[in-house]
Every structure is written in structure tokens, then in C-alpha cells.
Amino acid sequence: MSQLEKVYGIHAVEALLRHHPKRVKQLWLAERRSEPRLQPLLALAGQYRLPVDSIDRGQLDEWTEGVHQGVMAEVTPSQVLGENMLDDLLGASDEPPLILILDGVTDPHNLGACLRTADAAGVRVVILPKDRSATLNATVRKVACGAAEVIPVVSVTNLARTLERLQQKGIWIVGTAGEATQDLYEQDLRGPIALVMGAEGKGMRRLTREHCDYLVRLPMAGSVSSLNVSVATGVCLFEAVRQRRVSS
């Protein structure tokens, strides 16, 4: 198992079987095969002639770090895309791209939740810096509920340089910062936009902030000064979705 990644959870494993079946080498089940919720997995495994074996739930608990729902797949390591793929991804549609950039999000649960929201909001690509960022591990995939298998994730060496590259392509960079004077709801998010969300607690790095075209803040009415990054990401992305639907 040392050369393979472990992906667990019904939704995450099903997404892999549907979108990347060649990566799946072995399927393990701790539940009875007659369980209705396992039937789509078994059907896909049969379609691609993948080995399916039973395993003791206690053993599966040892192999995983979260709620596995009685399902685990051994898969070949995932490939986070390189920045050389950005041009192809940005040109994949005639619609103005909506991009999510996560600057220093190190908690895998937050990264997984952000990927799930990004997929739901129709984000074209998620960009992460290579340093000070969580990676696509089993926890991220479980929390993302399959989104990690379908949404392109690009890792970049120099985030500031990538922001400049996006700007040269006509993409506006909108960063979120508590000290911003403009509310999120006052910002036009209908065009080609890259939304930058900062790290938990610290926010965006100084150089990242300096490369933003606009800074916006979420209006906070209560005593809490900020939201969890995955919650804030959902608020911002779906405000962009709302504006784009109204304009169309």
C-alpha cells in the first residue's frame, strides 16, 4: 500500500470510479455488499473489472483518519496540475472564468470544504501556492465529497507572478481582507474574476494583497470578527454566482 493513496468515503470513492477509474486499483468494503448505498460503487467496480474485497471495520479504522463509511479505495497518486496547464484551463470555455485562489490554507478540512463549494459554484480552476498550503490528501478528498476528483487544482511556485499572469489575460483579482473599505456586495463579480481567500487567521500575505485589483470585506454584524475560510469562500463564490445569473 506504500505506493498507493487511500481514498475513503462513499462520495469520494464514487467520484473516483466515475471520473478516474484507471487510478483505482483495489476497493475495500467493511459493509455488507447488499447495502443499497454501495450498489453504485459495486456496479462501477464491476464495469471496470476492479477487485473488491471485504475487510474488518477495525482494520479500516486503522488505515484511515476519518469517517470512512465502510468504503476505501487504493489508488495511484493524484497529480496536482502544474502552472503550465493554466492557459488550457482558462481557454476551456467562452464564459468569463471564475477562479478561486487559496493563499496559505493549510487545514485539509478547510481545503476540502473549499473544493466542494468551488465545484458547486462552477469555478474553472483552483490555484494553490506550493508552499504553505494543504495538499490533496485523503482527508481533503473525504471532505470534498468527490469535488477533488473533478475540479482542476493547479499548484504554483510563485503566486504573485501567477496573479500578474492572470491580470495580463484580462482577469481581475479580487482579494478578501477585513480592513477593506468596500463590501463584497458592492463589487462587480460578473466578469473574468479570480477570488483570493487568505489563510486561516492571518489572511492573505502582503505580496498577494499588493497584487489585488480590488479588496473587499464581508460585512460582519455580530461580535465575531471573521468567518472560517471555507464559509467565507462559499459566501463570496455564491455572490459571484448570483450576480452572473442576474446579468444573464
Long-range contacts of 222-229 (CB under 8 A, 24+ apart): 225/178, 226/178, 228/110, 228/200, 229/102, 229/105, 229/110, 229/114, 229/197, 229/198, 229/199, 229/200
Report the C-alpha gap between 248 and 70 in whole angstroms: 44
In the block, cell 488505515 appears at 63
Beta bridge partners of 128: 155
Contact predicate 229/134, CB 8 Å: no
The response to whether 218 counts as a known ligand-binding position is: yes
Query: Could you tell me the CA-to-CA distances from 93 to 70, 125, 192 in Å, in that order?
Result: 38, 12, 12
Residue numbers belonging to the annotated binding site: 198, 218, 227
Residue numbers belonging to the annotated binding site for S-adenosyl-L-methionine: 198, 218, 227
